[in-house]
């Protein structure tokens, strides 16, 4: 049986407590978006073999899941994927798409959270995993001493009448050893951590539930500035340099809800869908050296289908 999995990308709006203050660390907020998608096909095979994109990573992920499930192998075709290390969650979506496609192709049930643990994802943030499983707007509860995976605190469909202009300037965000070292070095003031939690609970979530575009835009930017201040020692400012320039370009178009996704360099601007195409044209002109596209919320998560 051949199975195809198509999963969303994600925008990461921030980690609330990178210093693990008072025994519980991280805690994340983000959103599933409909592009760029990760699309993987899988079918039973006598060994592990991958074709298409990121074949080495794909085979490494496949070996993890086949070993865990006691399978001989799997043949994979990676048809599309988000750019790697730009802040859109590419590796988590690839890992989970491979795990779920492999399990389904062998007629096995597998929960995405279990798959995420097996594949080594979600060590700090659960946003990518919950974007895969549920889609929508996501807040997770971080990690305590006995946490196996960050618990899902809040998940809600994102308004379809809101969209994002996403820009990817040239460059890569922090990853691997550099990212781990950055987290070890961060010691943000308690006031910033508490302020971020307040903004999410009493500003951002209510604005989402009330479909208040202006308020959500305002408080999304506020959250980004708070989180960016926590991470500024590691990235040279509230935003990384390529991200800062791109954010200023989006703001010059009158976009009020802006930010950097994860470590960047990807940035986003919240727009009303009815005005999106016009603003997209302006953004493409203002950011001619970046990849610029329009992304809509994905309120479903990964799609799994049998294709042969």
pLDDT in the model for residue 179: 64
Report the C-alpha gap between 72 and 187 in whole angstroms: 46
Side by side, the strands of the sheet bearing 162-168 are 257-260, 267-272, 162-168, 291-295
Tens digit of each residue's pLDDT (9 = 90 or more) over 104-147: 999 999 999 999 999 999 999 999 999 999 999 999 999 998 99
pTM of the model as a whole = 0.95
Delineate the domains of the chain, giving CATH numbers in brackets: 3-157 (3.30.230.10), 162-295 (3.30.70.890)
State which residues of the chain have pLDDT below 50. Answer: none
CA geometry: angle 36, 42, 44, nearest 5 deg: 170
Q: In whole angstroms, what is the distance from residue 49 CA to residue 223 CA? A: 43
pLDDT of residue 83: 95
All residues at 6 or more sequence positions from 40 whose CB lies less than 8 Å from its CB, including other chains: 4, 5, 58, 76, 77, 78, 79, 94, 97, 98, 101
pLDDT of amino acid 3: 99
Cα-Cα-Cα-Cα dihedral sign, residues 150, 156, 157, 161:
negative
């Amino acid at each position: 049986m051949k199975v195809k999995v198509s999963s969303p990308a994600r925008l990461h709006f921030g980690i609330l407590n990178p210093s693990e203050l008072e025994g519980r660390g991280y805690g994340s907020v983000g959103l599933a978006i409909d592009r760029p998608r990760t699309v993987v096909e899988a079918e039973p095979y006598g060994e592990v073999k991958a074709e298409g994109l990121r074949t080495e990573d794909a085979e490494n992920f496949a070996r993890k899941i086949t070993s865990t499930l006691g399978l001989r192998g799997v043949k994979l075709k990676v048809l599309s994927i988000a750019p790697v290390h730009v802040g859109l969650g590419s590796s988590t979506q690839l890992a989970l798409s491979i795990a779920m496609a492999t399990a389904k192709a062998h007629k096995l049930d597998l929960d995405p959270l279990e798959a995420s643990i097996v594949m080594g994802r979600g060590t700090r943030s659960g946003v990518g995993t919950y974007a895969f499983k549920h889609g929508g707007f996501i807040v997770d509860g971080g990690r305590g001493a006995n946490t196996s995976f960050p618990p899902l605190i809040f998940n809600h469909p994102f308004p379809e009448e809101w969209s994002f202009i996403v820009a990817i300037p040239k460059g890569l965000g922090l990853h691997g050893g550099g990212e781990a070292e950055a987290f070890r070095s961060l010691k943000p003031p308690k006031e910033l951590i508490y302020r971020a939690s307040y903004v999410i609970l009493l500003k951002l979530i209510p604005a989402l539930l009330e479909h208040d575009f202006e308020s959500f835009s305002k408080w999304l930017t506020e959250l980004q500035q708070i989180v960016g201040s926590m991470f500024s020692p590691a990235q040279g400012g509230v935003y990384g340099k390529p991200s800062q320039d791109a954010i200023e370009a989006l703001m010059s178009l009158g976009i009020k809800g802006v930010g950097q996704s994860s470590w960047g360099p990807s940035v986003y601007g919240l727009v009303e869908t009815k005005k999106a195409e016009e603003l997209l044209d302006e953004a493409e002109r203002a950011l001619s050296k970046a990849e610029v596209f329009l992304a809509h919320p994905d309120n479903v998560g990964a799609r799994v289908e049998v294709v042969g």
